[in-house]
Amino acid sequence: MSNNRFYKELQISPEHLGSRLDQAISSECNEVSRSKIQSWIKNGLIKVDGQVVTVTRTKLMGNEVIVIDAEIEEAGVWQPQDIPLDIVYEDEQLLVVNKQAGLVVHPAAGNPDGTMVNALLHHNSELIHLPRSGIIHRLDKDTTGLLVVAKTLEAHTHLVEQLQQRAFEREYQCIVHGELVSGGTVEEPIGRHSTNRVQMAVTPFGKEAITHYRIKERYKHFTHLKVNLETGRTHQIRVHMAFLRYPLVGDPVYGNVRFVPSGISDELKLHLRGFKRQALHARKLGLMHPTQAKMMAWEVEAPADYNSLLNAISLECPFENDL
């Protein structure tokens, strides 16, 4: 396979007698997603015994020779930019990045450049040939922590499948307003807010969303949580904690950034008012390596501003009783 073309010849085995064309190719060519194979068939980029076939549901007899000759669409017209990246792991198949606060992951209307995509293309220009430049999942602009990026089409396909099958281990930590008495699970669907289109909300018309949370430390007025995601909806932790009425400290969208508990010192008030983002960090990421068939996991500590805020809270607001 060249940098911008995918070429492969394969012999369909007799066991695929009666199988659909797209299903048979997918089982024999697992480095490419089923949706991509279907697109290539519809666009006449796949031949069966020398003939172009454009119907994905075409039934096979077995023993056919399939030829795939398709161009891999570039992810976009984005330009490489020399933006620092904290890469905690890299091999030929993937890389893991510890994203800093303030860095948008993917270009959009409000952020056409200066994103992680631009930084990744500067690090490795070949990522332009992968969907979303190899980015498998996202973090909000002001959320810090671990993200995985695929470097090959095969790795991208495997990692996306793991994400869809909820096989990733994703552990976060966050600081919320209020004193939770125990951990729990939120199973509330999340969708676009009915009136504010830039926000997400718990809504009966949303997609399934499951968030597990456990108490790390409890303080007066605040709780430090460990959170594990079973699904990955936009703003999921922020929306679910706000739904429980324990919004994240500093959250400018789902919390009240001007709120400070009564009775705290001026110094802690300054810490809280000076923390201009949601107190959320993607601490741990675990997954099955796409080619080495082994589980791998990485952990990174929260950044200095998060730890400084947490330290200020712990010094002034200790909880009287141990959990």
Q: Which residues are catalytic?
A: 140
The structure tokens listed for 103 are 């860095």
36 with 45: CB under 8 angstroms? no
Q: Which residues pair with 94 in a beta bridge?
A: 150
Residue 154 DSSP SS3? helix
Q: What is the dihedral of CA 171, 177, 180, 184, to 10 degrees?
A: -40
**How many Cβ atoms are within 10 Å of 274's Cβ, its own excluded?**
11
Report residue 147 CA to chain centroid gap: 7
Of 44, 65, 64, 67, the closest CA to residue 56 belongs to: 44
Q: What sign results for the dihedral spanned by CA atoms 120, 122, 124, 129? A: positive
CA max distance for the chain: 79
- Using a 10 angstrom Cβ sphere, with 0-12 exposed, 13-18 middle and 19 or more buried, the burial of residue 9 is exposed
Residue 20 DSSP SS3? strand
Beta strands in the chain (DSSP E): 5-11, 46-48, 51-52, 65-71, 87-90, 94-99, 144-150, 169-177, 184-187, 190-192, 200-202, 210-218, 222-229, 280-288, 295-299
- Residue 263 DSSP label: T
Q: Which residues pair with 169 in a beta bridge?
A: 286
Residue type, 245: R
Terminal Cα distance for the chain, rounded: 57
The structure tokens listed for 19 are 């199988």
